[in-house]
Chain A
Amino acid sequence: MLPAIPRELWQSLQGALIALGGYALFAVRLLVEVPRALLRFRLVIDQVHNAGTLSLVIIMLSGLFVGMVLGLQGFDLLERFGSEESLGTAVALGLLKELGPVVTALLFAGRAGTALASELGLMRATDQIAAMEMMAVDPVRRVVMPRFLGGVIAMPLLAAIFSMIGLYGAQLVGVQLMGVDSGQFWSQMRGAVETADVMEGVIKSVVFGVACSLIAVYEGYHSIPTAEGVGRATTRTVVISSVVVLLLDYILTAVMR
């Protein structure tokens, strides 16, 4: 006979399944709306600006520092084996395949994700969503969809910028500060990094973009219309996005290696 599942565990399991079902249905609804949203691309461009351009400073700064740390740590490690010329390769692979997409996604969840969730939550709390429905305007089509697509488009672009600035940071420390040969740094990198490595990063950032944007718009759109409810939705957006990004990162890395 199977051991009896404690009531609380059963209830939380049920709650998680219901939430997962909600996410799946919402994702299908968004998917159906994609062609129509592309026809009104102006709305999407505004949201690429909101999610992407406004995140640029934090992404660039973080990319620079992550690259500089990678340069420093990489140099210390490679120096032990006398292969500090491979620094460029090590940093490029680390940034393009892992740190670029992952750190960008985590920063995106903290900056753009929370902004999206709280904006949608407040729109619901102040009856703006209900007002749209009363004006016979589908809020998912008019408000949610452009924000979702804007996030999906912005993420790979931000990840690319993060990696690029990161490489510059690593070069700054490795070549300018530690004295690695500039020619070796760049030529080894060019020789070792393949298109497949770049594609791995691109695929990851697109998947993270879909996941983070979906979580943000779902949590915001379904938040309880009170100050506390919007606050909770914002927190949940960051927590769920961070865990999901790291989980997806492992799965994608395992599949693509």
Chain B
Amino acid sequence: MTADAIVRVRGLHYSIGGRPIFDAVDVDIARGAVTAVMGPSGTGKTTLLRLITGQLFADRGLVEVDGKDVGQQSRGEIYRMRRRMGMLFQNGALLTDLSVYDNVAFPLREHTRLPERLLRHVVLTKLQAVGLRGAWQLMPAELSGGMSRRVAIARAIVMDPELLIYDEPFVGLDPISMGVVLRLIRRLNDTLGLTSIVVSHDVREVSAVADHLYLLSGGKVVASGPPSALADSDREDVRQFMHGLPDGPVPFHYPAPDYDQQLRRAR
């Protein structure tokens, strides 16, 4: 347990349509650190982010952000809480009818009354931080996947949040773009004094950047700790995931009737 945790999840139960997603999950996100939440597809990693950001609410248990129970907040309070968060969606989720510049300026224009000159200064500073100041005039359709993700990062940090959340930031990126995004996650976290949560199943990439890992499987936290500790774990399920073994506690084959019998019946 972390003494200074910006996010505290205790005894979290959550189910969708009667199917349990989380069964007594405990998670601590340490302030100032990069914490990764990993696990096989369909284990509810994104759902956990939605619970932390107040897009979903726990059936039972506590989800606390900066000492406040998310489940007890009004809509207005949740919106105020989100102003101190930035989130990067899987595909960037840029507003397609706005240019790169206007996308980054969007939160400032909605929430502040900054004069245009100052706003321009802030936007260009954030675009410079992600290396895309030169692309300010482009429309989202003209950007590559990696560039879209970087613009989305610039937009996520434009309000100077305390907590930055990345939902599958490496999906569909080439190695160069992936390297750029990886470095950005670490650099922004350290230079801006943020706390970062990275949800991903890219073990090697995330291990390189995260201070702490949580491994989710079957609705529970199966392991947590520094990346090196998890890589050396003796547990079979942790080893299978961390080393990408095709067979193990998560079987290669989807449950099926006897192979021979099914072939005979097909004849």
**Chain A interfacial positions (CB closer than 8 Å to B):** 123, 126-128, 130-138, 142
Contacts and interface: CB of A to CB of B under 8 A. Distances in A.
A123 B93 CA distance: 9
A138 B87 CA distance: 16
B47 interface: no
Nearest to B87: A134
B265 interface: no
A131 B83 contact: no
A127 B82 contact: no
Nearest to B97: A119
B55 A133 contact: yes
A127 B89 contact: yes
A68 B69 CA distance: 67
A55 B155 CA distance: 34
Interface stretch (B105-113, B195-203, B224-232): B105-113
Contact of B79 (A123, A136, A142): A136
A135 B89 contact: no
A130 B83 contact: no
Lowest 10 A-B CB distances belong to which pairs? A131-B93, A127-B93, A136-B79, A136-B82, A134-B87, A127-B89, A136-B83, A135-B107, A137-B110, A128-B93
Contact of B95 (A128, A133, A136, A138): A128
A137 B191 CA distance: 27
Interface of B: 53, 55, 79-80, 82-83, 85, 87, 89-91, 93-96, 106-107, 110-111, 152, 155, 159
Nearest to A133: B55
Nearest to A50: B97
A130 B93 contact: yes
B99 to A, nearest CB: 15
A136 B86 CA distance: 10
Contacts of B96: 123, 126, 128
A75 B46 CA distance: 67
Contacts of A136: 79-80, 82-83, 107, 110-111
Contact of A142 (B89, B91, B110, B159): B110
19 contacts: A126-B93, A126-B96, A127-B91, A128-B93, A128-B94, A128-B96, A130-B55, A130-B93, A131-B87, A131-B93, A132-B95, A133-B55, A134-B53, A134-B85, A135-B106, A136-B107, A136-B110, A137-B111, A142-B110
A200 to B, nearest CB: 37
A126 B91 contact: yes
Given A128-B93, A128-B95, A134 B82 contact: yes
Nearest to B81: A136
A138 B80 CA distance: 12
B82 A135 contact: yes
Nearest to B76: A136
A140 to B, nearest CB: 12
- Counting chain B CB atoms within 10 Å of each CB, the highest count among A123, A128, A132, A135 belongs to A135
